[in-house]
Structure 1
């Protein structure tokens, strides 16, 4: 992958963002910009992107809008739970893609990450992981990184924010030899497919105080102690992400 973003891709973000921002979801503007720039930086030729966990498509739309030659695979089982409306969410995702003129760039795969990965043999340039946030699911989702080309990018949302996501990264990525930490935008962590150095591992460990702070903030929000959470620098009623 190139380290710079072609101007024809980078300049389009400001124009595309208002439409994408109308799609509900937990993705900040800065995190959307990170996804956009990551896809835009893929070397010339079709950019191959896979996303685990699409929901209504806020991040999916960013990935698909970043360049006209992108092919995005959106994997989501669209299960019905207390918080999510099941198959109806897929309809909302596809409607949002259609409104923004991005439907032809996205293949929606309505199944679990593990089922979609079974038999998968296509290389990927970019992987975005934002599925179920428990330790076991994230640990399994990270296996998709095995399909990302050398120098490719893996982006994990809710890193150092969700307990399950963070524990999976500490267990499988920190001691591993496949992904090198390259920083975060809020809770969105970026990794590059290359052998990590000692400095890369230390950079990841240095995020732990921020993670612990976020865990405390979540507890305070559940206890409706918003004032104390604000004292810790948290803004708003939502979890830190």
Structure 2
């Protein structure tokens, strides 16, 4: 998560009011949770962090959950952040609490991401949805094309690198054009990822990416 992305999360939480609820899907070790929770505290809002903490090398499992809980405690946010351990796709159908801000940074395949977008049914009209790795992850971008560019429920607003912001409202033609305008940046990111995996970092520098890590 970059500084600009953290600022986008902070500002979104600061736009809420007393008693409002943020749902974060995918918390990992809690960096974004701390940003959201710190901002939420200033306005009297709460954060519900949803993460299954799956065991295994890729996701971290129990040790990651322990680091998450330690980071929340160290930030003094135990009274602001509520952890709900479970799969977002399994929790959603039985959810019964309204929310005012949705942040999606869960599994990045098309099917999970588009299912996570359905958490928006608990948002008020005009509610904001923030999506990490949008126009950077293939699965998330394909889901955005299907549900935002060609959909009727979400309108693209802006992005901080790969952190995109949408509103729960019917998109206008201008909204769709703004979404379409992000696709060249997405194709650039895919090319950079391919170059990095081929160990062609020098070539990636030619398109402005001087880092061993994927563009985020």
Smaller-chain TM-score bracket: over 0.9
1:52 paired to 2:25: yes
Matches within 5 A, 1:154-169: 154-169=129-144
1:152 paired to 2:147: no
| 8 A contact 1:217–1:239 mirrored in 2 | yes
Structure 1 unaligned runs (5+)?
1-26
1:230 paired to 2:205: yes
Shift of 1:109: 0.9
Residue of structure 2 in register with 1:197 after alignment: 172
1:135-176: CA deviation from partner (whole Å, max 9, x where unpaired)? 111111111112111121100000000000000111122222
Q: 1:209 aligns with which of 154, 165, 184?
A: 184
Q: What is the alpha-carbon root mean square deviation over aligned residues?
A: 1.0
Shift of 1:46: 1.7
Residue of structure 1 in register with 2:8 after alignment: 34
Shift of 1:87: 1.6
Matches within 5 A, 1:2-41: 27-41=1-15
TM-score, length basis structure 2: 0.96
Residue of structure 2 in register with 1:107 after alignment: 82
Which secondary structure does the structure 2 equivalent of 1:235 belong to?
Answer: coil
TM-score, length basis structure 1: 0.86
Which secondary structure does the structure 1 equivalent of 2:156 belong to?
Answer: strand
Which secondary structure does the structure 2 equivalent of 1:159 belong to?
Answer: coil
- Whole-angstrom distance in 2 between the partners of 1:158 and 1:209: 15
| 8 A contact 1:39–1:47 mirrored in 2 | no
Shift of 1:198: 0.6
Shift of 1:64: 0.3
- Whole-angstrom distance in 2 between the partners of 1:81 and 1:205: 37
Which secondary structure does the structure 2 equivalent of 1:220 belong to?
Answer: helix
- Whole-angstrom distance in 1 between the partners of 2:174 and 2:57: 42
| 8 A contact 1:109–1:116 mirrored in 2 | no
| 8 A contact 2:30–2:71 mirrored in 1 | yes
